[in-house]
Amino acid sequence: MVRSRGPSGEVVLRVGVACADDYLDFLSGRCRPNTVLAAAYDLRIFLAVLGKDPTEVVPADVLAFITAQRTGRPAGVVQGLPTDGGGGGVGPATIARRVSTISGFYAFLQVRGDVVTNPVPRGLPTRRERSRPSQGVPLTRRVRSLPRILAPADVDALTGALRTHRDRAMVAAMVLGGLRRCEVLGLRLQDLRVAERRVFIAEGKGGRQRIVPVSARFFTAVADYLATERPAGTTTDRLFVVLKGPTRGQPLTVRGLDQVLAGARARAGLSHGTCHELRHTCLTRLREAGMALEAVQAQAGHASIESTRIYLHLADDWLASQYRKAAEVIDAQVFAGTPGVPATPPPGAGERPVLPGFRRLR
């Protein structure tokens, strides 16, 4: 994959195949840069493993590619990719993303007239195909695991291991405001609303903008950073910049932020503590503190409430309290009249608990 600069300074990605490069140009006009970068990487892998003209791909090639990615072994006409771990393939989420990228690529070629049909199957047929033709077995199976969060002691250790006000401000934006890594790096000076203790997110996921409140601790760290650390004469409007080295004064990159956290984790003796785990920690603590699920969704910038519901499982205090209320009702109903069990239901047992997102039926 080759990166270059366009006429206006934008990054141009190329994989070396004309139709694939045209698709990346098409994506760059409607998707975020990270999305285009991921699509370029996925297409490069697919084309390298495929070893044939993209217009000659058939469904058997796509299925064999999925098998090779999952197992890390040669499958059918497609050769398996070597993995970093030396054995096994990539995870289900990565495979699903690559299949989605390939499907979008061939949908583009189909509309353009390069191929007649999209070789990526929508799903495997089942016995219910006649009655429910739209329902089939997905090509990949995704397991939605619970994200990891940091304990309060780990957050204190990580924060104490940071060396600059800039680094403390970036961590505070994630662990106290729930911002994504790209949102932290995309902050501009004019996005800070100090009097309101809020920040404007101009480059949110999916191009969605929002205004979110952030703790005063974040603004204190930002003020110290601007007063003592930000290089004089910096021309960029990005809030967080490189503090030393040949790129001093230029916007901080993803790699730079990851290196900051990696060094802090090593000094604090922590085995985990990524940017996304800091964000998960913030959103989980907000839910545990009683913040409404819809408010957590707005703070996180989730397009769907389903993405936010996972924090109900992480906030185990909420689940435990809801279970205790329901268990009181069950005990009163199941064990009514049983010797040794009080016949009088406990207080509040006459009402059924109503879970968030559900209406009480009458």
The DSSP code sequence of 271-299 is S---HHHHHHHHHHHHHHTT--HHHHHHH
User: Which residues lie below 8 Å from residue 187, measured CB to CB, with a gap of 6+?
Assistant: 173, 199, 201, 238, 239, 240
Residue 252 has what DSSP assignment?
A: P
Q: Which residues pair with 145 in a beta bridge?
A: none
Burial of residue 81, with CB atoms counted within 10 A of its CB: 0-12 exposed, 13-18 middle, 19 or more buried: middle
Q: pLDDT by residue (tens digit) across 110-145?
A: 999 999 999 988 866 655 555 555 556 677 766 677
Q: What dihedral angle (degrees, nearest 10) is formed by the CA atoms of 125, 130, 133, 138? A: -20
pTM of the shown model: 0.73
| pLDDT confidence bin for 362, thresholds 50/70/90 | very low
The candidate with the shortest Cα–Cα distance to 134, out of 143, 146, 126, is 126
Position 132 scores a pLDDT of: 54
